[in-house]
């Protein structure tokens, strides 16, 4: 009898301990060691106010991140909360890896009204929310104010056109050898950098249903030939082979050798660190018919479709992407504001340094000039194929029409 | 103190067990136990993935959903894929020139540094071997700066003799030769050490006999040195070809496969399909194609080696 009483008391003790033990959830994100520190700070702040939830960070370098995430999901080890680059969002959606959180947003009255509207588009599929946006920002056009001033040319208005870009580039390009200057810093990195030219020519990567490859339309290929061959050849634009990375262009921009370039919100922070670098940001030049050609991109933080800790995972997600989490991210300058709020811009960028009125311009781009990418499953594979074809054009091995028509069946096979 | 008393039945049992295992068997068990940790690693991390990827190559699989059996469709698609052929051409280009240049250069350096009349040979050997122990990524990054068209040291130096600037990494015609140079520079130290060891193993009396016969240095090299070091040359050739077909790190960091895919290799293609496009079946098929190519080349080398490798 004594033994039985002892066992019962042990079971009760363990049972009580188990019920008091915090719920553990896994949160996966990408980042370098600095970024991991920021996430740890956010997790610590969350755990301090939510002692019943313990968050285990799963940090992976960006290049391997999505593959490792998929392997974790395939192995039944999916993190409860995960960040996904919007490029992969549709692939994750197609494979039912993310949870529909529309109901959770409504039930918990999570305020999405202050999030940039373009960012919200990137986290939806079929009208349902599969995550919350993380770092919603456009790809700005950076204007080197010193080079414009030296040439006696005023900065372009926000409603400028592609023709203006070419004309300005030709005026600003000059010199040879070590003294050479270029009007526009053009490089072939990701498809993002090409789409403003495609959109400006009235075309797109896919048709409206995103099931047909349309980048080989004549208007588009004519524009691309102009961009890739004519303006590179006459040195108005930099050669994407000579300047292969965004960093190369940024270096020349900061040294007043490139007058205009495309860049992200993170580029603003990098340039602000360079003494004497005076610049402005603007939307990408469009046309009167198609003004919205500035790429606007967000990433997603969502819940795993198979999470067994939905309540705890949602609580953490709401904190992470709510005002508290956003403020901590902004203080750490980890990503551009996802909320349309001056306060966050003040924390993110040094408002005493250029560019002036970044928040206002961002707001204007979001409302008038911004356009989200036509993302779909297989995006990365399509990008590899298209960029390979465009490199052939730059190398003079084919015209845009030839190169893009040649790859059309292959792209079509990917998006079938 | 009295010895512990073992019950009669237990002592008999022990005796029987020890008698059952011969000393040979016991040695064998001990041997297997010693190799077991490595064997487990080999089976788990090499043999199993190799076999598994053969099955995956016959499937369409994106890591999340169930694999769909597609038979040899991935291989058929691969043969029709111009990107695959381009990557294969690039790999063959890299392999051919890096192996040839690598062997010729390292053999030349080994012969040179094996000569006792050459000064500072210890320092030179260390200097040539150093790139082997450096991290490939850091080596590639340094070379990226050296070969930069605008601010690179190489073009700067060539400028003094009014040459260049050359678009080392930014022109499709120059990019692969540049990658080959970096690859060779990195590899020659390792090959040189093997050749040096082989050269030092050549019996001196053969050279003395050649001297008596009045052989000149070049004759001595072709008729004495070359045949005697041929097993090492064969080893260097086989390993260099296998390594060159698997080139990935240098091209990834130095050029990322560009410009215009001119330095994209098969392993880079496998990586892109597997871990960027999540087409594991297609990537496995490409990996098996590479395996088959290396197997055929190595088998061919083995057959041909009987004609020129001294045994």
- Could you give the ipTM of this predicted complex? 0.74
User: Does A242 sit within 8 Å of B260, measured CB to CB?
Assistant: no
Q: Any idea what the Cα angle at residue A328 is, between residues A323 and A330, rounded to 5°? A: 90
CA distance A129 to A120: 8
Q: How many CB atoms lie within 10 A of CB A168?
A: 24
Q: How far apart are CA A382 and CA A91, in angstroms?
A: 13
Strands A81-85 and A23-30: parallel
**φ, ψ for residue B127, nearest 5 deg:** -65, -40
Q: Which residues of A touch B260 (CB under 8 A)?
A: 241, 388, 391-392, 394-395, 397
* pLDDT, position B161: 92
Cα distance between residue B262 and residue B173, in whole Å: 8
Per-residue pLDDT, A75: 84
| CA nearest to B183, candidates B265, B97, B264 | B97
Cα dihedral: A135, A139, A145, A146 (round 10): 100
Chain A window 372-411: which residues touch B at a Cβ cutoff of 8 Å?
378, 380-381, 384-385, 388, 391-392, 394-395, 397
Q: Do B150 and A91 touch (CB under 8 A)?
A: no
Beta strand A140-144 pairing with A81-85: unpaired
By Cβ distance, the residue of A74, A244, A397 closest to B258 is A244
- Which residue, among A72, A384, A397, would best test binding to B if mutated, counting the most B CBs under 10 Å from its CB? A384
* Closest to A188 (Cα-Cα) out of A179, A199, A178, A197: A197
Q: How far is B138 from chain A (nearest CA, A)?
A: 18
Q: What is the pLDDT, as a whole number, of residue A416?
A: 80
Q: In the predicted model, is pLDDT for residue B3 greater than 60?
A: no
Distance from CA of B137 to the nearest CA of A (A): 15
Rg of chain A taking only CA atoms, in angstroms:
24
Cβ contacts of A180 within 8 Å, gap of 6 or more:
A174, A235, A257
* Contact call for A395 and B260, based on CB within 8 A: yes
pLDDT band at B1 (very low <50, low <70, confident <90, very high): very low
Name the minimum distance, in Å, from the CA of A207 to any CA of chain B: 22
DSSP-assigned letters across all residues of A279-320: EEEEPPPB-SS----EEEEEEEEEEBTT-S-HHHHHHHHHHH
What superfamily does domain A16-137+297-348 belong to in CATH? Periplasmic binding protein-like II (3.40.190.10)
Q: How many helices (H) and strands (E) does chain A have?
A: 19, 12
pLDDT at residue number B286: 96
| A384 contacts B172? CB cut-off 8 A | no
DSSP code per residue over A318-366: HHHSSHHHHHHHHHTT-S--SB--HHHHHHHS-TTSSSTTHHHHHHHII
Furthest CA-CA distance within chain A? 99
B18 has a pLDDT exceeding 70: no
Render the burial of A385-412: b for 16+ CB within 10 Å, e for the rest.
bbbbbbbbbbbeebbbbebbeebbebbe
Check if A61 contacts B (Cβ < 8 Å).
Answer: no
Which chain B positions have a beta carbon within 8 Å of A395's beta carbon?
A: 172, 259-260, 262
Select from A146, A155, A81 the least CA-distant residue to A312.
A81
Rounded to whole angstroms, how far apart are CA atoms A334 and A329? 5
Q: How far apart are CA B139 and CA A324, in angstroms?
A: 43
Look at B172 and A395 and tell me if their CB atoms are within 8 Å.
yes
Q: Quote the pLDDT of residue A64.
A: 86
How far, in Å, CA of B106 to CA of B98, rounded?
A: 11
Q: Which residue do the tokens 């990322």 mark?
A: B256
Query: CA of B274: which chain A residue's CA is closest?
Result: A67
According to DSSP, the β-strands at A182-185 and A258-263 are parallel
d(CA A50, nearest CA chain B) in Å: 32
Same topology, domains A16-137+297-348 and A140-296+356-415? Answer is yes
Closest C-alpha to A400, from A260, A286, A248, A232: A232
List, as one string, the DSSP characters of A90-113.
HHHHHTT-B---HHHHHHTT---T
The Cα A151–Cα A49 span in angstroms is 56
Residue of A nearest to B273 (CA): A381
Could you tell me the maximum CA-CA distance found in chain B, to the nearest angstrom? 98
- Does any CB of chain B come closer than 8 Å to the CB of residue A67? yes
Distances (CA, A) of B305 to A39, B26, B75, B100, B235: 58, 41, 31, 16, 10
| Separation of CA B71 from chain center | 31
| Helix, strand, coil percentages for chain A (3-state, nearest 5) | 50, 20, 35
Chain A neighbors of B274, CB-CB under 8 A: 67
Beta-carbon separation of B150 and A73 below 8 A? no
Rounded Cα–Cα distance for residues A214 and A415 (Å)? 12
Cβ within 8 Å of residue A134, ≥6 positions away: A83, A298, A299, A300, A301, A321, A335, A338
Give B77 to chain A, closest Cα distance, Å: 11
For range B17-45, the mean pLDDT? 88
Give me the helix-helix angle, A310-320 and A33-49, nearest 10°: 120
Q: Which two tokens stand for residue B25?
A: 């068997």
Q: Where along chain A do its domains lie? A: 16-137+297-348, 140-296+356-415
pLDDT at B277: 85
CATH topology of domain B81-308: MetI-like fold (1.10.3720)
Angle at B172 between CA B169 and CA B173, to 5 degrees: 95
> For residue range B214-266, what is the model confidence (pLDDT) as tens digits?
989 899 999 999 999 999 999 999 999 999 999 999 999 898 888 888 999 99
Q: What is the mean pLDDT of chain B?
A: 89
**pLDDT < 50 positions in chain A:** 16-18
Backbone angles phi, psi at B117, to 5 degrees: -80, -15
- Give the pair of three-digit tokens for residue A218: 């004549």
Residues of A whose CB is below 8 A from B258: 241, 244, 391
The DSSP line for A228-282 is IIIHHHTTSB--TTTS-SHHHHHHHHHTTSEEEEEE-HHHHHHHHTSTT--EEEE
pTM across the whole model: 0.82
User: Does the distance separating the beta carbons of A378 and B167 come in below 8 Å?
Assistant: no
Cα dihedral B233, B238, B240, B241 in deg (nearest 10): 130
Q: What's the whole-number average pLDDT of chain A?
A: 90
> CA B185 to CA B148: how far, in whole Å?
17
**Residue B282: which pLDDT band, with cuts at 50, 70 and 90?**
very high
Q: Does the domain formed by A140-296+356-415 have CATH 3.20.20.370? A: no
Q: How far is CA A5 from the centre of its chain?
A: 61
- One-letter-per-residue 3-state SS of chain B: CCCCCCCHHHHHHHHHHHHHCCHHHHHHHHHHHHHHHHHHHHHHHHHHHHHHHHHHCCEECCCCCCCEECCCHHHHHHHCCHHHHHHHHHHHHHHHHHHHHHHHHHHHHHHHHHCCCCCCHHHHHHHHHHHHHCCHHHHHHHHHHHCCCCCCHHHHHHHHCCCCCCCCCCCHHHHHHHHHHHHHHHHHHHHHHHHHHHHHCCCHHHHHHHHHCCCCHHHHHHHHHHHHCHHHHHHHHHHHHHHHHCCCHHHHHHCCCCCCCCCCCHHHHHHHHHHHCCCHHHHHHHHHHHHHHHHHHHHHHHHHHHHHCCC
Give the 3-state secondary structure of residue A152.
coil
Q: How far is A71 from chain B (nearest CA, A)?
A: 6
Smallest CA–CA distance from A176 into chain B, residue:
B150
pLDDT-derived band at B15 (thresholds 50, 70, 90) equals low
Could you tell me if A242 lies within 8 Å of chain B, comparing CB atoms? yes
Both tokens of A2, joined, read: 């004594």
> Closest Cα of chain A to B60: distance in Å?
13
Residue A249 tokens read as: 């262009």
Half-sphere exposure of A278 (CA within 13 A, CB side): 8
């Amino acid at each position: 009898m004594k033994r039985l009483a002892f066992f019962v008391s042990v079971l009760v003790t363990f049972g009580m301990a188990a019920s008091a033990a915090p719920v553990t959830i896994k949160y996966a994100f990408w980042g370098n060691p600095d970024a991991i520190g920021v996430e740890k700070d956010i997790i610590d702040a969350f755990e301090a106010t939510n002692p019943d939830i313990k968050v285990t960070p799963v940090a992976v370098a960006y290049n391997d991140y999505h593959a490792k995430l998929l392997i974790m999901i395939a192995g039944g080890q999916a993190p409860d909360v995960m960040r996904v680059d919007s490029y992969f969002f549709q692939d994750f959606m197609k494979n039912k890896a993310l949870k529909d959180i529309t109901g959770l947003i409504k039930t918990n009255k999570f305020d999405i009204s202050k999030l940039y509207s373009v960012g919200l588009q990137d986290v939806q599929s079929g009208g349902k929310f599969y995550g919350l946006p993380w770092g919603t920002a456009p790809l700005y056009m950076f204007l080197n104010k010193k080079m414009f001033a030296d040439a006696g040319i005023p900065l372009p208005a926000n409603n400028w056109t592609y023709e203006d870009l070419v004309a300005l580039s030709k005026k600003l390009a000059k010199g040879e050898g070590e003294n050479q200057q270029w009007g526009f810093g053009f490089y072939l990195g990701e498809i993002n950098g090409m789409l403003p030219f495609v959109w400006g020519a009235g075309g797109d990567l896919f048709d409206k249903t995103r099931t047909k490859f349309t980048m080989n339309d004549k208007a588009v290929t004519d524009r691309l030939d102009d961009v890739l061959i004519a303006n590179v050849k006459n040195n108005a634009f930099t050669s994407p082979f000579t300047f292969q990375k965004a960093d190369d262009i940024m270096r020349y921009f900061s040294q007043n050798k490139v007058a205009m370039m495309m860049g992200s919100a993170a580029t603003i922070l990098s340039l602000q660190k360079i003494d004497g670098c005076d610049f402005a940001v603007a939307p990408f030049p469009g046309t009167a018919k198609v003004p919205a050609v500035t790429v606007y991109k967000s990433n997603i933080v969502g819940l795993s479709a198979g999470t067994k800790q939905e309540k705890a995972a949602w609580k953490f997600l709401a904190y992470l992407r709510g005002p508290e989490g956003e403020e901590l991210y902004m203080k750490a300058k980890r990503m551009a504001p996802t909320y349309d709020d001056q306060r966050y811009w003040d924390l993110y960028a040094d408002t005493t340094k250029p560019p002036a009125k970044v928040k206002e311009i961002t707001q204007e781009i979001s409302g008038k000039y911004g356009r989200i990418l036509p993302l779909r499953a297989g995006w990365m594979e399509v990008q590899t194929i298209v960029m390979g074809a465009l490199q052939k054009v730059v190398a003079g091995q084919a015209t845009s029409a030839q190169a893009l028509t040649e790859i059309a069946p292959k792209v079509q096979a990917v998006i079938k | 103190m009295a010895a512990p008393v073992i019950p009669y039945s237990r002592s008999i049992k022990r005796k029987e067990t020890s008698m059952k295992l011969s000393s040979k068997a016991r040695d064998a068990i001990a041997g297997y136990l010693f190799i077991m940790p490595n064997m487990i690693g080999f089976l788990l991390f090499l043999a199993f993935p190799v076999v598994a990827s053969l099955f995956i190559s016959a499937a369409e699989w994106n890591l999340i959903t169930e694999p769909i059996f597609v038979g040899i469709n991935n291989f058929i698609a691969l043969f029709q894929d111009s990107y695959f052929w381009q990557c294969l051409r690039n790999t063959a280009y890299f392999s051919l020139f890096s192996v040839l240049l690598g062997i010729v250069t390292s053999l030349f350096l080994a012969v040179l540094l094996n000569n006792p009349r050459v000064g500072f040979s210890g320092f030179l050997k260390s200097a040539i071997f150093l790139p082997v122990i450096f991290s490939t990524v850091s080596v590639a990054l340094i070379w990226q700066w050296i070969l930069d068209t605008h601010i690179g040291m190489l073009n700067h130096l060539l400028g003094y003799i009014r040459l260049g600037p050359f678009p080392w990494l930014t022109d499709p015609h120059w990019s692969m030769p540049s990658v080959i140079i970096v690859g060779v520079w990195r590899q020659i130290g390792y090959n040189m050490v093997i050749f040096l060891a082989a050269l030092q193993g050549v019996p001196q009396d053969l050279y003395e006999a050649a001297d008596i016969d009045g052989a000149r240095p070049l004759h001595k090299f072709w008729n004495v040195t070359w045949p005697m070091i041929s097993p090492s040359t064969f080893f260097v050739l086989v390993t260099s070809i296998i390594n060159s077909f698997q080139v990935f790190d240098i091209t990834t960091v130095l050029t990322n496969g560009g410009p215009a895919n001119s330095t994209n290799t098969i392993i880079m293609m496998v990586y892109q399909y597997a871990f960027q496009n999540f087409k594991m079946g297609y990537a496995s098929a490409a990996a098996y194609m590479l395996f088959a190519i290396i197997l055929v080349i190595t088998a061919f080398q083995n057959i041909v080696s009987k004609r020129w490798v001294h045994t």
